[in-house]
Amino acid sequence: MTPLASVHFPDGSGYVLAAYLVFFLLLLIYLGITAYRLLGLERRLGDLTRQLDEAEAKSALDGASAPAPAAAAVPAPDEVPR
Protein backbone atom coordinates (compact mmCIF):
# COMPACT_ATOMS: atom_id res chain seq x y z
CA MET A 1 0.00 0.00 0.00
CA THR A 2 1.34 3.45 -0.93
CA PRO A 3 1.81 5.77 2.05
CA LEU A 4 -0.32 8.91 1.78
CA ALA A 5 2.72 11.22 2.14
CA SER A 6 4.32 9.77 -0.99
CA VAL A 7 1.22 10.36 -3.14
CA HIS A 8 1.61 13.46 -5.28
CA PHE A 9 -1.39 15.78 -5.10
CA PRO A 10 -1.62 18.60 -7.66
CA ASP A 11 -1.24 22.20 -6.48
CA GLY A 12 -4.43 23.65 -5.08
CA SER A 13 -6.03 20.24 -4.54
CA GLY A 14 -6.63 21.11 -0.88
CA TYR A 15 -8.76 24.09 -1.88
CA VAL A 16 -10.68 21.99 -4.42
CA LEU A 17 -11.34 19.31 -1.81
CA ALA A 18 -12.38 21.97 0.71
CA ALA A 19 -14.80 23.58 -1.79
CA TYR A 20 -16.54 20.27 -2.57
CA LEU A 21 -16.60 19.39 1.13
CA VAL A 22 -18.21 22.74 1.91
CA PHE A 23 -20.90 21.99 -0.67
CA PHE A 24 -21.58 18.49 0.65
CA LEU A 25 -21.51 19.61 4.28
CA LEU A 26 -23.94 22.44 3.57
CA LEU A 27 -26.23 19.99 1.82
CA LEU A 28 -25.91 17.45 4.61
CA ILE A 29 -26.63 20.03 7.33
CA TYR A 30 -29.67 21.31 5.44
CA LEU A 31 -31.00 17.81 4.78
CA GLY A 32 -30.36 16.81 8.40
CA ILE A 33 -32.28 19.80 9.75
CA THR A 34 -35.13 19.26 7.28
CA ALA A 35 -35.34 15.53 8.04
CA TYR A 36 -35.42 16.28 11.79
CA ARG A 37 -38.18 18.86 11.34
CA LEU A 38 -40.19 16.58 9.04
CA LEU A 39 -39.93 13.66 11.45
CA GLY A 40 -41.19 15.88 14.28
CA LEU A 41 -44.06 17.07 12.11
CA GLU A 42 -44.92 13.54 11.05
CA ARG A 43 -45.08 12.49 14.71
CA ARG A 44 -47.21 15.51 15.60
CA LEU A 45 -49.49 14.82 12.63
CA GLY A 46 -49.99 11.24 13.81
CA ASP A 47 -50.76 12.39 17.37
CA LEU A 48 -53.17 15.05 16.16
CA THR A 49 -55.01 12.66 13.87
CA ARG A 50 -55.44 10.22 16.75
CA GLN A 51 -56.56 12.98 19.18
CA LEU A 52 -58.94 14.36 16.59
CA ASP A 53 -60.50 10.95 15.98
CA GLU A 54 -60.96 10.50 19.73
CA ALA A 55 -62.42 14.00 20.16
CA GLU A 56 -64.79 13.49 17.23
CA ALA A 57 -65.89 10.13 18.57
CA LYS A 58 -66.45 11.69 22.02
CA SER A 59 -68.44 14.61 20.65
CA ALA A 60 -70.54 12.20 18.56
CA LEU A 61 -71.25 10.17 21.70
CA ASP A 62 -72.11 13.34 23.70
CA GLY A 63 -74.39 14.49 20.89
CA ALA A 64 -76.22 11.16 20.91
CA SER A 65 -76.75 11.11 24.70
CA ALA A 66 -77.68 14.82 25.04
CA PRO A 67 -81.38 15.85 25.10
CA ALA A 68 -83.00 17.25 21.96
CA PRO A 69 -81.91 20.88 21.32
CA ALA A 70 -85.49 22.25 21.53
CA ALA A 71 -86.02 20.64 24.93
CA ALA A 72 -82.62 21.72 26.19
CA ALA A 73 -83.28 25.31 25.15
CA VAL A 74 -86.30 25.58 27.51
CA PRO A 75 -84.95 26.29 31.01
CA ALA A 76 -86.37 24.43 33.99
CA PRO A 77 -88.47 26.68 36.29
CA ASP A 78 -85.77 26.77 38.96
CA GLU A 79 -83.08 27.70 36.41
CA VAL A 80 -84.80 30.87 35.20
CA PRO A 81 -82.62 33.84 36.18
CA ARG A 82 -84.29 36.21 38.58
Give the interface with another protein as residue ranges (CB under 8 A).
Answer: 10-13, 15-16, 18-20, 22-23, 26-27, 30, 34, 37-38, 41-42, 44-45, 48-49, 51-52, 55-56, 59
Query: For residues 65 and 80, which CB has a smaller minimum distance to another protein in the complex?
Result: 65
N-terminal to C-terminal alpha carbon distance within the chain: 100
Query: What sign results for the dihedral spanned by CA atoms 28, 31, 37, 42?
Result: negative
Give 9 or 80: the residue with its C-beta nearer to another protein.
9
Q: Shortest distance, CB of residue 14 to another protein, whole angstroms?
A: 8
Q: Which residues contact 66 (CB under 8 A, 6 or more apart)?
A: 72
